[in-house]
Amino acid sequence: MNLRDLSYVISVAELGHFGRAAMACHVSQPTLSGQILKLEEELGVTIFERVGKQVRLTPVGEQILANARRSVAAANDIVAAARASRDPLAGPIRLGVIPTLAPYLMPFVLPLAARELDKAPLMLMEDLTGHLLPPLTDGRIDAALIATDAGTDKLAEIDLFEEPFWLAMPIDDPLASEAEVDLGAIDPRRLLLLTDGHCLRDQALELCSRQGPENAVAGSADVRAASLETLVHLTAAKYGLTLAPRLAMANWVGLRDRLAFRPIMGDKASRKVRLAFRKDMPRRKAMEKLAEVVKASLPDCVRRIG
Question: Which of 67, 83, 99 is at the close of a domain?
Answer: 83
Q: For residues 66 and 4, what is the distance between their CA atoms, to the nearest angstrom?
A: 15
Kind plus residue range of the DSSP H or E element containing 156: strand 155-170
Report which of 10, 41, 47, 42 is spatially closest to residue 25, judged by C-alpha positions: 10
**Under 8 Å between Cβ of 110 and 121:** no
227 lies in the same domain as 113: yes
CATH number of the CATH domain containing 195: 3.40.190.290
12 lies in the same domain as 42: yes
Report which of 131, 129, 264, 300 is spatially closest to residue 202, judged by C-alpha positions: 129
Residue 222: predicted pLDDT: 58
Strand-pairing partners, residue 277, are 143, 156
54 lies in the same domain as 121: no
158 lies in the same domain as 192: yes
Query: What domain range is 140 assigned to?
Result: 89-306
Backbone φ and ψ for 217, nearest 5 degrees, come out as -115, 115
**Under 8 Å between Cβ of 164 and 118:** no
Residue 223: predicted pLDDT: 65
Give the SS3 label for residue 202. Answer: helix
43 lies in the same domain as 187: no
Residue 176: predicted pLDDT: 92
Give the SS3 label for residue 170. Answer: strand
Q: How many domains does the chain have?
A: 2
Per-block average pLDDT, block size 10, for the chain (306 residues)? 89 88 90 91 90 84 89 81 75 93 94 94 94 90 93 92 92 92 84 80 72 47 75 90 88 87 83 94 92 94 85
94 lies in the same domain as 176: yes
Residue 218: predicted pLDDT: 46
Residues near 95 by Cβ (< 8 Å), separated by ≥ 6?
Answer: 122, 123, 124, 125, 141, 142, 143, 144, 145, 290
Q: For residues 41 and 35, what is the distance between their CA atoms, to the nearest angstrom?
A: 10
Question: SS3 breakdown of the chain: % helix, strand, coil, rounded to 5?
Answer: 45, 20, 30
pTM over 0.85: no
Amino acid at 69: R
Residue 267: predicted pLDDT: 66
When computed from its CA atoms, the radius of gyration of the chain, rounded to whole angstroms, is 23
Question: Which of 83, 102, 119 is at the close of a domain?
Answer: 83
Report which of 299, 279, 288, 283 is spatially closest to residue 159, judged by C-alpha positions: 288
Question: Which of 60, 83, 106 is at the close of a domain?
Answer: 83
Residues near 17 by Cβ (< 8 Å), separated by ≥ 6?
Answer: 53, 55
